[in-house]
Amino acid sequence: MTDATKPEAADDIWHERAFDLTRGIAAYTGSPLIGGLARLVAEFPGADVANAFNHKQVACKMWARDELFANCGGRFGRVWVLGGWYGVLPAMLFEDPRFAVERIESIDIDPSVAEVALSLNRHWRERFQARIADMYALDYRGERPALVVNTSCEHIADLPAFLTLLPAGTQVLLQSNDYFSEPTHINCVPSLEAFEKQAALSSVAFAGALPMKKYTRFMLIGRI
């Protein structure tokens, strides 16, 4: 074996074991989401699934889900999740029995993530769609989603400019963070107050901070 082949061989073993483990956990818990994760490990070995479903990402999305339910209830029509990546939040909303969501569209500018999100959400395929689009180029006034979720505010250059695209009264859930040292974060905020100022929502149902080990995540739920 050459040095060049060693990491690949190690990767294969990692994938086999991760697949066995996630499939076992899916069988034990009966969770379609975990079954979807097992599928991703098998079908998309290059996808950064371990990052998208690490405990911090999961904690931030459970926080979003719980506060959304506590402040807005669980019944929604058409939901758009922008910068939706692999579609973890839609799967978590679909799987949660407190929620009855008609349809969730996960929208991302990166064309490589759509088929991963579709695979993760296969169990709910009648109600799930993965779209490839720039969130700045969507027709929010014409299509009028009932709820717009953007947990990737730290990844977009101009949050106020994006928010001006949404009609007044649109319900939103926004997350950002103060993780300035991560190179893909181009628009972090230093505090919850700074995030509230940046978003300038007309009404705020929830504003909070969730401290993690290396950064704090901020969330706003309210209306444009």
Ligand X SMILES: C[S@@+](CC[C@H](N)C(=O)[O-])C[C@H]1O[C@@H](n2cnc3c(N)ncnc32)[C@H](O)[C@@H]1O
Q: What are the residues binding ligand X (CB under 6 A)?
A: 57, 82-83, 85, 108-110, 113, 134-136, 151-152, 155-156
Choose between 2 and 175: whose C-beta lies nearer to ligand X.
175
Residue where the block lists tokens 């974060």? 185
Closest chain position to ligand X (CB): 83
Handedness of CA 155, 129, 112, 54 (dihedral sign): positive
Q: Residue 90 CB, nearest distance to ligand X (Å)?
A: 11
Nearest partner of 149 among 188, 92, 211, judged by Cα: 92
Q: Residue 51 CB, nearest distance to ligand X (Å)?
A: 8
**DSSP track, 40-103:** HHHH-TTS-HHHHTSHHHHHHHHHHHHHHHHHH-SEEEEEEEET-TT-HHHHHHHH-TT-EEEE
Q: Which tokens sit at 221?
A: 């739920």
Choose between 113 and 224: whose C-beta lies nearer to ligand X.
113
Q: Residue 205 CB, nearest distance to ligand X (Å)?
A: 20
Choose between 10 and 59: whose C-beta lies nearer to ligand X.
59
Q: Which tokens sit at 177?
A: 């963070």
Q: Residue 1 CB, nearest distance to ligand X (Å)?
A: 34
Choose between 35 and 83: whose C-beta lies nearer to ligand X.
83
